[in-house]
Amino acid sequence: MASTSDAGDVEVSRTRLCDEFAGVTGTDNGVAQCYLAENDWNMERALNSFFDADMEKVFEKEWTVEQEPATKKQKVEEKSPGASTIDLTGDSPASSQKPPEDEDGGSGLTLISWNVDGLDMENLAERARGLCSYLVLYTPDVVFLQELVPPYVQYLKKRAVSYLFIEGGEDGYFTGMMLKKSRVKLVESEIVTYPTTQMMRNLLIANVTLRGSKVRLMTSHLESCKGHSGERVTQLREVMRRMREAPDDVSVVFGGDTNLRDAEVAAVGLPPAVCDVWECLGRREHCRYTWDTRANTNKRAPYTSRCRFDRVYLRPASAPQMPRLAPDHMALVGLEKLDCGRFTSDHWGIYCSFAPTRANDDAS
């Protein structure tokens, strides 16, 4: 028979698990207790069970409307090969709102990093369409995405055929990368598991070439919630180790929802060659807060929280005469409400551009 002390320990442990589950999923402790109890109080299994809910129906109507012929002419066109494919993210016409680009493509890099909040099913199809609109406007070379779910990925694959999609997982929620096929060539990719994560987090890495330049792309969604600072710091150390140890003829770009607090970054410290892009570009106040419940009402939070959770780090190549990248511009995206009255995500996205330089340019 278990002692009173043992029973108390179990209760404390299960209460903590319920709190963690509720924090990750945005549910309450009652829902958390049901899922955890059904899965023998195994957090990973409980989270998988929660996120395995069939969300295809959220997008089903969207796809049906897009493919439904409106005229006889359209019916004929749909019979031709590839006509059912919709590419929202090809190079769009010039726009006064669109950031400047190298007209010849150059060897610079443009990037969007965004936690798209795929776990929130409310207006999910319209919000996914909102993301596509920003891809049309900015036509980034690379897109880092966090909090994806399988139906969201399938939706993007249908809409964004000019991009190669790399998934950081298959079940629950996960990260992903989109690489513009005309500009970025994938060499190889890998998923690095964080061994002590309780929230199914990992590091997605892709080695690519960009007009002859070698670039290592990395994205992650670091452990959430204030109480998981220790695990988050451990994950940041792994990210920085891999940035630091990359070959010196490779530029490394990391971006994602880090959930980091400045004190946590200070505790780890950035390697000498690694820079925080926001800091490097002058710490501009208008693009400081990527999580801002005062301005972003998607979560209907009864409190104000303003944090720089989403960050981009760069470690330029250092080998002599090798092409490298330097921070050029940063802006927040997703600041406009959609027709549904909500934003594309509860996070603002980050748009960054990097200019091409050479390692010896800095010495001149």
Indicate which residues carry an active-site annotation.
Answer: 257
Residue spans of alpha helices (H) in the chain:
4-25, 29-38, 43-51, 56-67, 72-78, 124-138, 150-159, 229-244, 262-268, 277-280
Degrees to nearest 5, angle at CA 234 with 195 and 218 = 80
163-167 sheet: strands from edge to edge: 163-167, 174-180, 142-148, 109-115, 349-358, 323-333
The answer to whether the CB of 119 falls within 8 A of the CB of 24 is no
Q: What is the DSSP letter of 96?
A: T
Instruction: Report CA Rg, the chain.
Output: 22
Degrees to nearest 5, angle at CA 147 with 230 and 199 = 35
Residue count (the chain): 364
Side chain identity, residue 109: L
**β-strand pairing of 250-257 with 213-221:** parallel
Residue 349's CB: how many other CB atoms inside 10 A? 25
Q: Is 221 helix (H, G, I), strand (E, B) or coil?
A: strand
The answer to whether the CB of 263 falls within 8 A of the CB of 253 is no
Residues 6+ apart with CB under 8 A from 230: none
The answer to whether the CB of 352 falls within 8 A of the CB of 277 is yes
Degrees to nearest 5, angle at CA 162 with 158 and 165 = 65
Establish how many alpha carbons lie within 13 A of residue 276's alpha carbon, considering only the half-sphere containing its beta carbon: 17
